[in-house]
Amino acid sequence: MELERIRNFSIIAHIDHGKSTLADRILEITGVVSKREARDQLLDGMELERERGITIKAVAVTLPWTKDGVEYQLNLIDTPGHVDFQYEVSRSLAACEGAILLVDSTQGVEAQTVSNCFLALEGDLEILPVLNKVDLPTAHPDDVAEEIENSLGLDATDAPHVSAKTGEGVAELLDRIVEQVPPPKGDPDAPLKALVIDAVYDDYRGIVVYVRIVDGALEARQKIQLMSSGKSYEVNEVGIFQPKEKKTGRLQAGEVGYFWGAIKSLEDIHIGETVTHAKESGPPAAEPLPGYQEPQAMVYAGIFPSFNADLPQLRKALEKLHLNDASFSFVAEKSEALGFGFRCGFLGLLHMEIVQERLERESGVQIVQTAPSVRYEVERVDGEVMMISSPAQLPEPNYIKEIREPIVRAQVVTPPEFIGTIMKMNEERRGKYVRQEHIGPTRVILVYDLPLAEIVYDYYDTLKSSTKGYATLSYDVLGFYPADLIKLNILVNGTPVDALSVICHRDEAQKRGRDLCQRLRREIPRHMFDVPIQAAIGGRVIARETIKAYRKDVTAKCYGGDVTRKRKLLEKQKEGKKRMKHVGNVEIPQKAFLAVLGGKEDDKKKRKGR
């Protein structure tokens, strides 16, 4: 295929605006899959994606399309819509020249619509606004087109109207892509230069590498070199996705596909690196590509095996997952309560949840996950600045000069009637008002600067419940700013449990400690002895709850006689409970470690259920 007849494009949108459904119709209309083979979420191959109805991994597929008698090759990269998977979106956009900005014509512009559009503008992509779900009776495409122009500055007067569900307008959309998206730049005759956009581990073939060819061509039986490690390999198979792997034997400039060879070690390949021809000696045949910006983890949590013997298996599972998901990171860690494990970094709470589920399903290892926390910047009295990602790493208070927490600029898109509710909610979470923008008669963007820790705690659930599900959120990290933060220790049966400790603002410590103790009391099962749960700042206990012991009625058989007989039996039971408390261990279930995540809504539900 000539370079002039190739089009690389992505579909970007807010979650639930119809990206995966539109991708399904495009596959059907281009003839890549028949109607008999077609099913919902065709490109979402992961079991988790189907269960949750969301896209987690960006997937590429090559499509044939004929316009005015000329055959074109369209390379579509379907992307996620949730804010936690924004790194997947940015990687996909780096391999494209154009993007379809899909907007639900019943919902209008949402937070991730704005965020993903700016990502595409930063990448200098041709953006084609498209209005979806026009077949629904509640659709108002003209008003939504006006919203797009007001909030994004894009010309949407001639935006295609489509229905991804019925297929209406999809063929015309493909024609517009051919007309408006520019062909890729590159030199087919230059030395090979390919960008690694993803990779997966296969037990039989080793590592399968997904690439976008920038210059030159990649062929089977060719020897290639990975520029980051300098190692050389022979390519066994080259192909494209339609949507399953299809062997072609060759990929040329502008195309997107896969190859696999003798790459077995997980450390040898890195997402974003450059592949070129192998040379016997001298410098590489081509200059390396800039690659991707390193992802910044927002949330950290400890992941430990339930059984210590599973530690090597867990490490291998984490390495495989990191290869397929570069935004997830991990380092070894030791906890006094849980033993050896790993400190893992995630882009958000949903990302954390998905990684946990993938680990358990794909590796079969039972894991215990600690409460998530964000990263803090700590300046010691000696001037040293250190980054910490867990409360256990925080130095003693007399060694700390200042603690700085990450602040994000949050954009909340909401109907006007919920402005007061959201403002009050942000004020309670130490938010600072920045500005307010009206993008239409039914849409307002509220911009606030908020501590990231407050968003991690319970912000998203509270936002959705207090706005009947209408408000949407996206955010960008501004930097680290000083705050009056302290470490809140949790003691179970008199023993500090580092995995349950949290870092919080001093003004909220009392309330947070009390809430945490109450939640843990509900989650930790009863034992044969009383289990006190305490929240403390240093040596000062600020909150306490007690889990009452199971108690047998030892006086049940005493029908009469002297009362001292009953007292004697009760005293004997009391002594036994005391001895048991000294030697007994408190079993803390997995859900107790996540109890710190429960917010106000959680507490209301618990109270209603009692």
User: Mean pLDDT over residues 318-323, rounded?
Assistant: 84
Q: Is the dihedral of CA 581, 584, 587, 593 positive or negative?
A: positive
User: Mean pLDDT over residues 574-582, rounded?
Assistant: 62
The per-residue pLDDT for 446 is: 92
Side-chain half-sphere CA neighbours of 125 within 13 A: 29
- Bond from prior residue into 415 cis (ω within 30 degrees of 0): no
User: Mean pLDDT over residues 31-53, rounded?
Assistant: 62
Structure tokens at 162: 């489509």
Domains belonging to the chain, first-starting first, are 3-180 (3.40.50.300), 193-277 (2.40.30.10), 299-370 (3.30.70.870), 377-482 (3.30.70.240), 486-609 (3.30.70.2570)
Q: Is the dihedral of CA 370, 373, 375, 376 positive or negative?
A: negative
User: Mean pLDDT over residues 499-520, rounded?
Assistant: 87
**127-131, 287-291, 506-510, 514-518: least confidently modelled range:** 287-291
Indicate if the pLDDT at residue 584 is higher than 60.
no
The per-residue pLDDT for 16 is: 80
Q: Which has the higher per-residue pLDDT, 410 or 285?
A: 410
The per-residue pLDDT for 583 is: 46
Residue (of 170, 173, 171, 177) closest to 75 by Cα position: 177
DSSP 457: I
Interatomic CA distance for residues 573 and 512, integer angstroms: 36
User: Mean pLDDT over residues 166-195, rounded?
Assistant: 88
118: confidence class by pLDDT, cuts 50, 70, 90: confident
Indicate if the pLDDT at residue 535 is higher than 60.
yes
The per-residue pLDDT for 544 is: 93
pTM (2 decimals)?
A: 0.71
**39-53, 195-209, 320-334, 371-385: least confidently modelled range:** 39-53
Structure tokens at 190: 């230059």
Instruction: Calculate the average pLDDT of the chain.
Output: 81
Q: Which has the higher per-residue pLDDT, 602 or 228?
A: 228
Q: Contact at 8 Å (CB) between 108 and 440?
A: yes
**142-156, 344-358, 555-569, 580-594: least confidently modelled range:** 580-594
Interatomic CA distance for residues 547 and 545, integer angstroms: 7
For residues 414-439, one letter each, b for 16 or more C-beta atoms within 10 angstroms of the residue's C-beta and e for the rest, the string is: beeebbeebbebbeebbbeeeeeeeb
Condensed to tens digits (0 to 9), the pLDDT of residues 430-487 reads 999 999 988 777 788 899 999 988 887 678 778 878 887 778 888 888 889 999 998 9
Condensed to tens digits (0 to 9), the pLDDT of residues 231-273 reads 888 888 899 888 788 888 888 888 888 898 878 777 778 778 8
| Rounded-to-10 torsion of CA 262, 265, 268, 273 | 70
Say if residue 291 is exposed, middle or buried (CB neighbours under 10 Å; 0-12, 13-18, 19+). middle
Structure tokens at 280: 């016997």
Indicate if the pLDDT at residue 209 is higher than 60.
yes
Condensed to tens digits (0 to 9), the pLDDT of residues 124-162 reads 889 999 999 998 998 888 888 888 888 888 888 888 899
pLDDT > 90 fraction of the chain, expressed in percent and rounded: 11
Q: Which has the higher per-residue pLDDT, 324 or 507?
A: 507
Q: Contact at 8 Å (CB) between 23 and 78?
A: yes
> Helix, strand, or coil here: 293?
coil
Indicate if the pLDDT at residue 96 is higher than 60.
yes
Structure tokens at 251: 């990929």
Interatomic CA distance for residues 347 and 324, integer angstroms: 15
The per-residue pLDDT for 407 is: 92
| Rounded-to-10 torsion of CA 257, 260, 265, 266 | 20
The per-residue pLDDT for 51 is: 61
The per-residue pLDDT for 610 is: 37
**51-65, 186-200, 333-347, 593-607: least confidently modelled range:** 593-607
Helix ranges (DSSP H) in 281-416: 311-324, 349-363
The answer for residues whose C-beta is within 8 angstroms of residue 603's C-beta and 6 or more apart is: 515, 518, 519
The per-residue pLDDT for 602 is: 47
The per-residue pLDDT for 604 is: 43
Indicate if the pLDDT at residue 609 is higher than 50.
no
Interatomic CA distance for residues 225 and 230, integer angstroms: 6
The per-residue pLDDT for 462 is: 83
Mean pLDDT is highest, among 147-156, 361-370, 419-428, 573-582, for 419-428
Q: Contact at 8 Å (CB) between 531 and 546?
A: yes
Structure tokens at 82: 């949730």
Interatomic CA distance for residues 253 and 187, integer angstroms: 7
Q: Tell me the residue ranges of DSSP E strands in 29-122.
A: 59-67, 70-78, 98-104
